[in-house]
């Protein structure tokens, strides 16, 4: 393939790293580019690529969610126009096209969701201050909407979730302008953009379990030789944890339009996986956990996948398919 040839011709030839054009994507890709340059000794050139998810103004749930920020980058890899691509791992479909290698999963950033509220308020403070009026909270995620609604229902407080799209500046702007009382964003993205000071509350996973893979990045390429060279950048504990989360998502056959959350965390040598499936209105949330002792060796990823599949089966047995409304058992 042309992409393979170009990535191995001469140590001085730049490696072409494909990235989305958003400020967050560029920040993430810049971080990866610097580490790749250090490991390979070759310059890295950022190649900006526009994806369907960047140009469409429809809600993610309406346009399919999964893959809309990824497919154009993957096409560029397979066509040899770039040598590697950086993705937010939570955007990556669970099935990869033939010929692509998940070369690197760097160490995960903060996996939590974060609230940016008016007047520096956290979630509880916000709803208390607005007693008698629903707190208007912006998010484009069915997963976040379901868990926010469930939280409000359990406490008997008024809360209205408002669907939003746009980059980080646009979303935070809704709060600054007074149009919304708060927005929920991934803490990792705010950290990478140097905007963590604007967070008014990190939402505890007990309240808001994150999306599978949230806070992690993925570097894909075509060339096995390049993948081998980049292998030293891989963080095995993160790769194994997100493998469990993504296996759960894959077994549920759910995408971004379904309210599904998962988080795998290490507790010594044991991996603890928590999964949530619910209805968008928050009326029903299924929460389950699974634990498995895992050695960080060549079998770890396979064991993590088995853990994710097993938890998904338990969720399906408890009625998760009907809650998601996306598949029949």
Q: Which residues are catalytic?
A: 91
State the sign of the Cα–Cα–Cα–Cα dihedral 16, 19, 24, 29. negative
Residue 151: strand pairing partners: none
Calculate ∠ Cα 105-6-44, nearest 5°: 50
Please say whether the beta carbons of 193 and 172 come within 8 A.
Answer: no
Compute the distance between CA of residue 73 and CA of residue 93 in angstroms, rounded to an integer: 13
Strands, sheet with 159-162, edge to edge from the N-terminal-most edge strand = 159-162, 135-138, 182-186, 113-117, 201-203
Compute the distance between CA of residue 261 and CA of residue 233 in angstroms, rounded to an integer: 27
For residue 60, give every residue at least 6 positions away whose Cβ sits within 8 Å of its Cβ, in sequence order, or none: 53, 68, 140, 141, 165, 256, 257
Burial (CB < 10 A; 0-12, 13-18, 19+), residue 143, is buried
Compute the distance between CA of residue 271 and CA of residue 236 in angstroms, rounded to an integer: 13
């Amino acid at each position: 393939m042309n992409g393979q040839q170009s990535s191995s011709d001469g140590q001085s030839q730049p490696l072409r790293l494909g990235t989305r054009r958003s400020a967050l994507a560029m920040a993430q890709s810049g971080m990866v580019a610097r580490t790749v340059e250090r490991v390979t000794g070759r310059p890295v050139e950022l190649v900006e690529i526009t994806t369907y998810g960047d140009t469409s103004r429809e809600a993610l749930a309406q346009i399919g969610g999964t893959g809309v920020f990824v497919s154009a980058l993957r096409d560029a890899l397979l066509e040899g126009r770039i040598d590697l691509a950086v993705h937010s791992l939570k955007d990556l479909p669970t099935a990869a096209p033939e010929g692509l290698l998940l070369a690197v999963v760097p160490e995960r950033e903060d996996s939590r969701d974060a609230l940016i509220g008016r007047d520096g308020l956290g979630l509880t403070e916000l709803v208390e201050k607005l007693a008698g009026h629903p707190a208007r909270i912006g998010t484009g995620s069915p997963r976040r909407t379901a868990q926010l609604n469930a939280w409000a229902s359990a406490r008997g407080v008024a809360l209205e979730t408002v669907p939003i799209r746009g980059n980080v500046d646009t979303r935070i702007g809704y709060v600054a302008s007074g149009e919304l009382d708060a927005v929920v964003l991934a803490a990792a993205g705010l950290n990478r953009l140097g905007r963590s000071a604007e967070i008014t509350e990190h939402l505890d996973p007990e309240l808001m379990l994150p999306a599978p893979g949230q806070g992690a990045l993925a570097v894909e390429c075509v060339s096995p030789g390049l993948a081998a060279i980049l292998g030293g950048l891989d963080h095995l504990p993160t790769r194994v944890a997100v493998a469990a989360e993504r296996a759960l998502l894959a077994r549920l056959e759910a995408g971004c339009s379904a309210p599904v959350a998962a988080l795998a965390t290490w507790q010594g040598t044991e991996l603890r996986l928590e999964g949530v499936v619910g209805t968008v209105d928050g009326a029903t949330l299924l929460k389950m956990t699974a634990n498995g002792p895992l050695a960080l060796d060549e079998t770890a990823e396979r064991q993590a996948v088995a853990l994710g599949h097993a938890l998904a089966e338990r969720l399906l047995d408890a009625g998760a398919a009907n809650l998601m409304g996306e598949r029949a058992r």
